[in-house]
Amino acid sequence: MAALPFNAAQSKSFTSYKFVSSIKDYNYRPCLSQLFLVRTPRLNLSRRSYFSVITNVASEQRQELKDPVAEGGVVGLADSLDYSAHHDSASIASSIKYHAEFTPSFSPENFELPKAFVATAESVRDLLIINWNATYEYYEKANVKQAYYLSMEFLQGRALLNAIGNLQLSGAYAEALKKLGHNLEDVAAKEEDAALGNGGLGRLASCFLDSLATLNYPAWGYGLRYKYGLFKQLITKDGQEEVAESWLEMGNPWEIVRNDITYPVKFYGKVIFKPDGGKQWIGGENVTAVAYDVPIPGYKTKTTINLRLWSTKVAPDEFDLHAFNTGDHAKAYAALKNAEKICYILYPGDESREGKTLRLKQQYTLCSASLQDIIAHFERRSGNSVNWETFPEKVCVQMNDTHPTLCIPELIRILMDVKGLSWKEAWSITKRTVAYTNHTVLPEALEKWSLDLLQELLPRHVEIISMIDEELIHTIIEEYGTEDLELLQQKLNQMRILDNIELPESAAELLLVKPEEISNLDSMDEAKVTDEVIEVTEEEPETAVKEEPEEEERQEKNVVSFEPHPKLPKLVRMANLCVVGGHSVNGVAEIHSEIVRNEVFNEFYKLWPEKFQNKTNGVTPRRWIRFCNPDLSQIITKWTGTEDWVLNTEKLVLLRKFADNEGLQSEWREAKRRNKMKVAAFLQEKTGYIVNPDAMFDVQIKRIHEYKRQLLNILGIVYRYKKMKELSPEERKAKYVPRVCIFGGKAFATYVQAKRIVKFITDVGATINHDPEIGDLLKVVFVPDYNVSVAEVLIPGSELSQHISTAGMEASGTSNMKFAMNGCILIGTLDGANVEIRQEVGEDNFFLFGAQADEIAGLRKERAQGKFVPDPRFEEVKKFVRSGVFWPYNYDELMGSLEGNEGYGRADYFLVGKDFPSYIDCQDKVDEAYRDQKRWTKMSILNTAGSYKFSSDRTIHEYARDIWRIEPVVLP
């Protein structure tokens, strides 16, 4: 029998036990690392507490399990995992006490809240591990196709309440902790938010994992384990300041380090030929990626999937002991620090070459370690007969935005250089395996990397990307021919992966062939054309490709130059690589997908229309209604007559028939006010400001960016404040509805303009909130360090939510969905998912303003031509800001960004001035509606009812059906 982790013979606490060895095959699931406890009669915290131990499935029992494929489908492992009888509050209390005593992260003297949280979380993790192991043993034996979701961000939030909610154990844990002297909410509040993300991209990824587990889809998430996160935001007299996140300082009870799951990751070095003629990447800098696993439970299901996070280190022999002993300490641990810093910070600043290098290292680490792990899974499941042609039938890799783009050349590299496949085989497999989600139309977010940097850091991958680019060039030439070289040049400039880089020899030679000769190639398939082009290149003299005609000859023959521009940078366009290298490209809202097809990737859409899809984002109704808003959840269950809406949000539509019911409206308002009271207490605790819970709570919480237009919001508030000041006290109260305007969000550390906006908001708040003439009629509060846990407090208590981005610039948004689910009414533009939300909740229940997406280009052109005439109210508010009322800071540069006629970042590129009058008029309509509380409450109910479409369950079903081609696998 395996040794116990303590000396049981010396402890009278244990009357009996049976220890179970953990599952040995660590490559595909975590081991059962803890003991599980059943009911004990003693509930105090004495060291002589009585514990009894329940077992996981014993190893000898596992040998007797049935084959996974039997009559009616897959059967087996979960049959012996019925532990529901042990989930009473007494056994849970014993489990918590056990962890407090035998897996301590704190000193043994006291059982205070931090220790209570860790012990509680570890007791929950025990339960998750049982289901976790069963899930992956089940998947393993069934050899099901699996989706792998790669994302640089997973913005999870706190896990305790979500986990016990999904396990249906909230009441049992609350009672157990009460017996132990604590309140569940107080214990849960001690959990730090996991600092693994920043905004909607990461929160979407976490919602998807919740839905994947809940819907029983076989899937894993892959990300990086950031030690210091993005940053912790402090608000000082100077605005936003950044300090490192401390989320791991007290440990993370949810993760299990997998020291046996490691993969080598290489940078720099050189590429050589192997004796068999293949390529090999050697030398350079080597690091090791180590797996940390986090269980993700589904709701009301045994399925528990995995989020695998990579951390980086080097082998001990990389530590230069000689240098250390001679006093050169920096040299001694240089390799160690170079490896560790890869996973220090999410999105390190990339203004310097060092910053760019670190970001690229992060992206490649995620791709390389994850693909090596995925391939190891595939090979193990294949047994002794690995058929690589079936790889896409068992694996789908989803790239969440362009950050994991290096998956494409990395998969090809492994297949060719390590597994020995040909280029043709590796390229075909990769194109059928990888899929791409686009999340932005912003130029800076469609990543472009310096070719020189990529060549230095990943030389083999540049060779492979060049081969993909060459394939693409030949496809474009086949499609458009060579008769109109200007058109061909335009297409190549738009579509090539390598930007401003000379054509490959095979393509250059084709362009010197006469049109009637090239037409003979048009009917050939891609592979045949490519082979023949390479063959011709080898036979022709070198000068035939490299010599250029004289200028007179070029003009006479009407030859277009395809040479790169000497003064422009040589770049690799990662988004183009994603489109070319994947079998699916999807946008994340209907209007966004239209822009992707018709503008961003229009040339690719014309070439491969079958690749392009829409998958409107969604959010999990478990975290975003059921758990964060229990008061509203109870009302929904009561009036719909079922709790099924938590899994089938279509049931929310039933609320529509009761929207005018006075009883429902009364309960609805009471629940909203209780949530507002919580928000008011939270704001006082976090900022010191005291707000009136009877005022309208007007909220904009999201990443600070110019296109999201927090500047439009705060200028609207300044205008409102100015107009209030011009009235008598009686007139103010008669004209204006009291408002508490709440902001939250982080500006990227090097984004100067965004940080100016944060400073402006806080200065406006400091002035207005201390103005005795205004009092409770208007408050402005900026909540520092916005994260998921803050959102879970603010969203249930919000009444108006601002989603006011410049039309056509927000891909989707997910916070708009969360607000609508919680009965909050939206004010916004026709942008992202706002369009679909407005359709579902009803036009009368959405406050719409602003220019539409198809007008934006024309409006910017008019501005550049000097035709824009600003509204007098816009000029008035800018003048008021410049008057120094929000002193002592000078806001000339911020206001100046809204002026002029041309240039990105000036000339009001995001059309704040254009939309300002429409926005102000719309806010008057908001005040009018809010005065009629019956009307407002009906609008609120209809927003919740209309949010049924925006569950991430629906989104995941569509991904599974249309992109991943996977089926649910339900454990018995």
Catalytically active residues are 439, 702-703, 708, 814, 818
Rounded CA-CA distance 731/733 in Å is: 6
Phi and psi at residue 466, to the nearest 5°: -65, -40
Query: From the DSSP assignment, how many helices (H) and strands (E) are in the chain?
Result: 40, 26
581's enclosing H/E stretch is helix 574-581
Helical segments of 143-216, H only: 160-166, 170-179, 184-188, 200-214
Interacting residues of 164 by C-beta distance below 8 A, sequence separation 6+? 124, 170, 173
**In whole angstroms, what is the distance from residue 86 CA to residue 874 CA?**
65
The backbone torsions φ and ψ at residue 912, rounded to the nearest 5 degrees and listed phi first, read -60, -45
Using CA atoms, how far apart are residues 36 and 499, in angstroms rounded to an integer? Answer: 58
- CA 699/CA 826 separation, integer angstroms: 10
Closest CA to 969 of 381, 305, 298, 216: 216
Residue 673's CB is within 10 A of a number of other CB atoms, namely: 14
Write the DSSP symbol of residue 901: S
- With b for 16 or more beta-carbon neighbours within 10 A and e for fewer, the 796-823 pattern comes to bbbbbbbbbbbbbbbbbbbbbbbbbbbb
Question: Is the Cβ–Cβ distance between 401 and 447 less than 8 Å?
Answer: no
Element (H, E) at 613: strand 612-614
3-state secondary structure at position 182: coil
The 3-class secondary structure across 100-150, one letter per residue, is: HHHCCCCCCCCCCHHHHHHHHHHHHHHHHHHHHHHHHHHHHHHCCCEEEEE
The packing angle between helices 200-214 and 952-959, to 10°, is 80
Closest by CA to 211, choosing from 298, 308, 133, is 298
Q: Determine how many CB atoms are found less than 10 A away from the CB of residue 948.
A: 21
Instruction: Record the tokens describing residue 296, joined without a space.
Output: 């993700």
Is residue 184 within 8 A of residue 93, CB to CB? The reply is no
| Phi and psi at residue 311, to the nearest 5° | -115, 165
